[in-house]
Structure 1
Amino acid sequence: MSTPRAVPVSLAEIARLAGVGRAAVSNWRRRHPSFPTRIAGTDVNPQFSLTDIENWLRENKKLKKSAEREWLWPRFEALGDRDETGAAIAEVGRRLAGRGGTNESPRSNEPAYQEAAGDLIERAVDLGRREGDPDAFAFLLRRWLDVHVRQIATTPEPLAALMADIATHVAPVDGGITAMDPACGTGQLLEAVAEAAAERGGGAPTLLGGDRDPVLAALAEARLNLAEQAPRNNPAPVDAAEPVRIDVRAGDSLRDDPFAGVPADIVLCNPPFNERDWGYEELATDARWSHGLPPRTEPELAWVQHCLAGLRPGGAAVLLLPPAVAARKAGRRIRGSLLRTGQLKAVVALPPGCAAPHSVSLHLWVLRAPAAGDDQPIGGHLLVADGVSRFPRDPGREWTPDWTAIGDFLHEATKATDPAVESAYVRRVPVIELLDDEVDLTPGRHVTPSPADSAPRLAATWAEFEDVTAGMAGSARLLATLELTSVAQDAPTATTVAELARAGALTLRGGQQPPEAVIRTGPPSAEDTPFLTVPDLLSSGAPRGHLAADDLARREAVIAEAGDIIVVGVARAFSAWVHEGAPIALGPQLHAVRVQPEQLDAWFLAGSLRAPANVRQAGTHATSSSRIDVRRLQVRQVPLREQRRYGEAFRELAAFEQLARRTAELGADLVRDLGDELGAGRLASGA
């Protein structure tokens, strides 16, 4: 029997697995002679055997039971490449779903691999049954997708749910529906439509999925089978004698459709983008091209017609497509035919960042197969909705989708049936207007906010701008009265944060990175704690994740309370401020400082720490990515009464900074909106 290869892990991975900071792992290595020796890497970036580390942590009672699933992933990753790891995870899902084992691994004929993979799969299945079947599989699948994010495009769960909701409203069906995704990936769209069908009641749905990647198809099948077994939130009653039928097959849906001749009520699809080798030559005479043979450069229009061909009369399809499909010259003939027949019902431009590729505004195309008795006059309308203008982005800041607001916008846009219903960002465009030489369906070209919609927004922006500038002017007057003097020869000496901590004047705690599985990104509950990281500060400044109140990681996290000072330990985002809101958990390179009020004034300390000279004093090197040694930051030693005088000035300076930043944001908004209004010729005559 061969000896299994050691799984290497770095110091950062050990810290994540153990649920502690990297500094704690470095301390263990330095203080404990029994700490395992490195098996690879360098002295600066060493790597250790995962098995040795796990045994050492267990012997020293530092192994946390809550992080048990974290220890599985490095072993799965060490099995081999993307396909081998994915096949093993799919096998875990199959067994948890009670579907039995398979022998379809890319290396199924290698005894050493089979032995290592078999033991690992059994361990994961055992953990899954103890913790909850879907959770363990979902964790492994999420980690696998995170590693291969550049190779595998997925539809975010909130967007998948919105697509399913739109489709089930465009094609309401009584009883069990048949839903299909011809490029299903890992099955997120089919899972979403199953959830939507359960909420609406009726019979159990039939889920049909196909993907040319056998590993993705296997993962999708396992995911759907596990989801079908999991209890849903407030599900409508479904006849227990009608189980959900799941049929996922590996194959190229365009070249060899595995479900040809099987009509579907709903088709959801996020097809591959910009693929030239989609079968142009061999499919030239295919019967699916009822609107014309798609040009070689228009594979997305081949997927559009494939989805339409798979619908039963009255069925609906929703596709996620790149924006170029709506405007490329090569596809205008097919777009025109879709409009003339009335099968294309809506085009919705999503704000950039909703799905990969995140830098562009992807489009949702909503289509409906004609039913008996449908009128398809040229005088019909196409609904267009411009989410790009509805959710403007600051080019200099990262944007996180507000799925609740986006969902409300999509519901408003796609459920309006009255041709007269229009709003600032939604319009029903007469088809005859679109049938020109370009047949450009880009929503932004056909949606222009009306004065009735833009005037209230402009008025509100002006009102806030005036309030903010008035506040900034008042703050500026106070700051301008400060008298600055030269430093006297007997100026007080400076001390450091480390010395103040040793003297008991303050406590310093460094933030930690909790296991990824416990960081939630959906809407938080009232008991959840926001989780702040350095990337958050570099983008929007607001926490994007949160920790559940009942999670062990929440109880072990570093929490900054009101009155604590938060210090950023990275040069490019270096700052220090007194936290005045609700408790907040801190991630790596963020520090919480709590002062003894009888010895230190919090605002004085925060203002002193963030002085620009301190960056040069405490930075590790001169680049913007350098770390700040918070313990080396300096503070002048002055009496408490004088500290409070300076503290008031620092507080006013911080308020002035916030007002100045908000003034700049509002000014940019006003310049953009007024430029649009003036460019549209909406300048009213003066009195």
Structure 2
Amino acid sequence: MTGSVRLVTAAEIARLAEVKPAAVSNWRRRHPDFPAAERRMGREVYPAPEVAAWLDHRIVAEKDRQPTEDAGITYGIRFRRNLGSPERVAPPPDTGRRLWRAFAAYRNFGGINGTEASMLAFGLLYLRFHDASRWSELRELRYAPDRDLPRRADDLVNSALLAGGHEPLPRHAWTTGGPSADHADLATAIQILDRLDPSSGPDGIRDAPIAGWLADDLLSRFAAADGRRGHLTPDSVVRLAVRLTNPIGGERIHDPFCHLGEFLVGAVDHVRTRCGAPAKLKVSGGTVGHLGWLAGMNLTLHDIATREVRVEPPLYRWDTQRRFDLVLTNPPFNMSDWTDGYHVGDLRWRYGIPPRHNANFAWLQHALALLTEGGRAAVLMPHGAGSSENSRERAIRAAMVEDGVVDAVIALPPQLFHSTAIAVTLWLLRGRGSDGDDDVFFVDAHAAGTMDGRNHRVLREEDLERITAAYRDRSTFTSGDVLSRAVARDRLRDDGYVLNPGRYLIAASAPVDLDRNRADADDLRHSLRNLLQRSIDSHERAERQIDTAADLLYGTPAGWSRCQLGEVCDVLAGPSGAVSSGGGNSSDVPVIKPRNISENRIVRDHLDFVDPSVAETLDRYLLAPGDVVCTRTGEIGRCGLVTEEHDGWLLGTSCLRLRPDASLDPSYLVFYLGHPRVQRWLVGNAGGSTVRSLTAATMRALPLLLPDTDRQRRIGAAMGALDEQLAIHDRIRRTTSALRESLVPLYLQDTLLDEAPEEI
């Protein structure tokens, strides 16, 4: 798909078709012919022409028509009418990734930290999109001697910031760090930015300024690279909090610990998406150190003019005369020594003075103190805050419940943050005097989301919708991984005011179909018997193969040769561009990605697919039996053998294909690549400063110890038989686990438990 085709997000489809976002979600879920989404620059987008054509077949119901609309009008007509503006020139789809690589390389060679690199990136973004004159001067300077470029770039950025009424860059470590030759990476970043059209949105996405999108993309990449040193609140968590609190135009919104301004940007984006320009929307926040500069610049790059960011100590007492309609915040968890005194006279501690060793309930009360009468707040808290047995915290929690200021508590899954793997909860609070129910609403979404890489989880759009729907309907709710239930104050009182959702949501679980469970248990027992027999057969085969190669276990190898892998094996890296996914139809071609390589085998779990027409254009990447597929990014060196089952599958982007010639047995190559010393060589020779990566050239240079073909075959067969055993044992483990889960409700007779949930 070319960049000139306009792409729109699901939220934009809803706005352009004048329906609620849930309607678009229903269309996507219920209609297989709905246009397929593509992942572009971190966002799910849809080709606008295809969406319009699909909507042409859906007539707007009479009750949903506007007074000026005729009978028979389709959603497609609405969509085209509101789409309006001409097509925009889109930047290349890999702009964010290429820009990140340039900044990451400069950061690595320049010896600067993630915060400094982020500030430099934001300064250049500001210069590119807010000062054409000075940017033209910088564009010419990238051809100047390298040693002058960082200093001159710093001067130009700061003069542009001062001219625009902003604070200059607070630090200048990038102007002196690293050898001058490495400043070519800075020139590369300037060149990438120079090629962008300042008036366009990412890949033509309307109402998404490219400067703001690039700021979001770079921040998320810096957060992933910095790991536990990162500051960023995950985008999916921001979107959830904003949807649940639903800011509207004209409101005053505040974040007392705004990090890099994520919640404030999310609130403004929410209003823009639903209402157009956020009329009279005012946002403000407090943060610490250099984050204040980054937060202010982040808001500027998102074209948010009415804002105020202060650098101030945590829990600083904001002017008591100022109140806000909405408070959103992700404060530091479990902050100790947060005050030199207990501030006995501080009116914020209406519900009790928080303990000095932990500021969690100081932040909750601080947020409440900032609210107008009838205001609302969303505050992220560690999971333990809802059940802390500290006497002061338990008393504060009880007083908040009794005063009716705790609206809801939502349990979120672990691994959402790059900076910590712990599970968190989102507390929804309401200002004193607000109308509300005499209960607390609980949502348990701890099992929601999907893994994005090995150590990071994200909440999907459907997760956000289910949680939002549960909160909006405020009733016992079960949908996939989301459970919810309102709990009366009397019950909370009896339970010691514990506010952890899992304590109360057994009754909200879906009813169990006992007949289905019995059938599943029978099928699983049959599968387990077959697997156990296969395990016995596999063990016997492995024993025979090991016996066949027994003579290789003794004596000194003779006649072995040494060479480089590239001399006996063709090495090919996967396609460099993103490949559009098909729907997994029978005619679609599977794509092997790193997640499909396990225990030296290729597995079908979570396969992606492409349309056959796409595969034809990538025929040089099609796999054949005897090929070996190896991961080249992330967990480097994992490999799997291509068998007849995988003939004609497609090599994925993050993999290498190794195609041995007749002198190299594929099974032996798989065994050799798994040797600890070979693994150390691969990791040690991988490139990249943050995400390690193997190139095809590096893999070709791998030293290879090569016995004669008979020895290779016998070694490969013995090790392959053991790999087969490992795979079968893994299936036995998973099948046994599934059998246990099927038997539990049968033995406990869950139908009886459902009748008396309060007694559990």
Q: TM-score normalized by structure 2?
A: 0.59
> Which is further off, 210-219 or 474-483?
474-483
Instruction: Tell me the equivalent position of 2:377.
Output: 317
1:273 aligns with 2:333: yes
Conserved? CA contact 1:318–1:365, under 8 Å? yes
Read off the aligned partner of 2:338 and give its amino acid letter: W
Conserved? CA contact 2:597–2:639, under 8 Å? no
Distance 1:654 1:592, change over 3 A: same
1:566 aligns with 2:629: yes
Residue of structure 1 aligned with 2:431, choices 369, 382, 390: 369
The CA distance in 2 between the partners of 1:667 and 1:619, in whole Å, is 35
1:166 aligns with 2:240: no
The CA distance in 2 between the partners of 1:80 and 1:182, in whole Å, is 28
Read off the aligned partner of 1:291 and give its amino acid letter: Y
Displacement after TM superposition at 1:656 (Å): 6.8
Residue of structure 1 aligned with 2:528, choices 465, 469, 480: 469
Distance 1:287 1:307, change over 3 A: same
Instruction: Tell me the equivalent position of 2:306.
Output: 245
Read off the aligned partner of 1:453 and give its amino acid letter: P
For residue 161 of structure 2, give the secondary structure of its aligned residue in structure 1: coil
The CA distance in 1 between the partners of 2:560 and 2:185, in whole Å, is 54
Deviation per CA, 1:227-255: give whole Å up to 9, x if none.
Answer: 23xxxxxxxxxxxxxx7623322223622
Displacement after TM superposition at 1:473 (Å): 5.6
Conserved? CA contact 2:599–2:727, under 8 Å? no
The CA distance in 2 between the partners of 1:352 and 1:454, in whole Å, is 27
Aligned runs of 1:128-139 on 2, under 5 Å?
128-131=193-196, 134=211, 137-138=215-216
Distance 1:458 1:609, change over 3 A: farther
Conserved? CA contact 1:511–1:591, under 8 Å? yes
Displacement after TM superposition at 1:362 (Å): 0.9
Read off the aligned partner of 2:102 and give its amino acid letter: W
Conserved? CA contact 1:268–1:317, under 8 Å? yes
Residue of structure 2 aligned with 1:662, choices 731, 735, 741: 731
Displacement after TM superposition at 1:548 (Å): 12
Conserved? CA contact 2:112–2:174, under 8 Å? no
Conserved? CA contact 2:560–2:708, under 8 Å? yes
How many pairs are equivalent?
Answer: 564
Distance 1:335 1:462, change over 3 A: same
Instruction: Tell me the equivalent position of 1:212.
Output: 287
The CA distance in 2 between the partners of 1:110 and 1:249, in whole Å, is 25
Aligned runs of 1:420-431 on 2, under 5 Å?
425-431=483-489
Conserved? CA contact 1:167–1:316, under 8 Å? yes
For residue 511 of structure 2, give the secondary structure of its aligned residue in structure 1: helix
Instruction: Tell me the equivalent position of 1:335.
Output: 397
Read off the aligned partner of 2:306 and give its amino acid letter: R
> Which is further off, 152-161 or 651-660?
651-660
Deviation per CA, 1:49-99: give whole Å up to 9, x if none.
Answer: xxxxxxxxxxxxxxx999576334444562755665454344334434528
Instruction: Tell me the equivalent position of 1:184.
Output: 258
1:88 aligns with 2:120: yes
Distance 1:581 1:212, change over 3 A: farther
Displacement after TM superposition at 1:337 (Å): 1.8
> Which is further off, 195-204 or 452-461?
452-461
For residue 307 of structure 1, give the secondary structure of its aligned residue in structure 2: helix
Instruction: Tell me the equivalent position of 1:414.
Output: 471
For residue 415 of structure 1, give the secondary structure of its aligned residue in structure 2: helix
Displacement after TM superposition at 1:321 (Å): 0.8
Conserved? CA contact 1:425–1:449, under 8 Å? no
Conserved? CA contact 1:73–1:140, under 8 Å? no
Residue of structure 2 aligned with 1:71, choices 74, 99, 102: 102
Instruction: Tell me the equivalent position of 2:130.
Output: 98
The CA distance in 1 between the partners of 2:743 and 2:186, in whole Å, is 61
For residue 652 of structure 2, give the secondary structure of its aligned residue in structure 1: strand
Displacement after TM superposition at 1:667 (Å): 1.9
Displacement after TM superposition at 1:565 (Å): 2.6
The CA distance in 2 between the partners of 1:308 and 1:410, in whole Å, is 23
Structure 1: unaligned runs, 5 residues or longer: 1-63, 229-242, 550-554
For residue 272 of structure 1, give the secondary structure of its aligned residue in structure 2: coil
Deviation per CA, 1:145-203: give whole Å up to 9, x if none.
Answer: 445443333211122111211111xxx64x44332221111122222222222222165
Residue of structure 2 aligned with 1:386, choices 425, 428, 444: 444
Instruction: Tell me the equivalent position of 1:240.
Output: none
Distance 1:262 1:96, change over 3 A: farther
Displacement after TM superposition at 1:682 (Å): 7.6
Read off the aligned partner of 2:127 and give its amino acid letter: R
Read off the aligned partner of 1:428 and give its amino acid letter: A
Read off the aligned partner of 1:509 and give its amino acid letter: L
Alignment RMSD (CA, Å) = 5.6
For residue 385 of structure 1, give the secondary structure of its aligned residue in structure 2: strand
Instruction: Tell me the equivalent position of 1:359.
Output: 421
Aligned runs of 1:298-313 on 2, under 5 Å?
298-313=358-373
The CA distance in 1 between the partners of 2:741 and 2:708, in whole Å, is 43
Conserved? CA contact 1:321–1:364, under 8 Å? yes
The CA distance in 2 between the partners of 1:489 and 1:667, in whole Å, is 34
Residue of structure 2 aligned with 1:440, choices 498, 506, 515: 498
Structure 2: unaligned runs, 5 residues or longer: 1-94, 132-159, 198-209, 553-557, 612-616, 686-698, 754-760
Distance 1:214 1:476, change over 3 A: closer
Conserved? CA contact 1:562–1:583, under 8 Å? no
Conserved? CA contact 1:315–1:368, under 8 Å? yes
Residue of structure 2 aligned with 1:151, choices 220, 225, 229: 229
The CA distance in 2 between the partners of 1:572 and 1:109, in whole Å, is 36
Q: TM-score normalized by structure 1?
A: 0.65
The CA distance in 2 between the partners of 1:162 and 1:127, in whole Å, is 33
For residue 241 of structure 2, give the secondary structure of its aligned residue in structure 1: helix
Read off the aligned partner of 2:255 and give its amino acid letter: D
> Which is further off, 629-638 or 213-222?
629-638
Conserved? CA contact 2:592–2:650, under 8 Å? no
Residue of structure 1 aligned with 2:271, choices 191, 197, 216: 197
Read off the aligned partner of 1:663 and give its amino acid letter: I
Distance 1:659 1:425, change over 3 A: farther
Residue of structure 2 aligned with 1:254, choices 296, 315, 324: 315
Conserved? CA contact 2:448–2:459, under 8 Å? no
Deviation per CA, 1:638-685: give whole Å up to 9, x if none.
Answer: 99xx99xx99x999997775454233123235446756886798899x
Displacement after TM superposition at 1:217 (Å): 1.9
Conserved? CA contact 2:323–2:370, under 8 Å? yes
Read off the aligned partner of 2:416 and give its amino acid letter: C
> Which is further off, 433-442 or 294-303?
433-442
Distance 1:122 1:430, change over 3 A: same
The CA distance in 1 between the partners of 2:237 and 2:426, in whole Å, is 10
Displacement after TM superposition at 1:635 (Å): 7.4
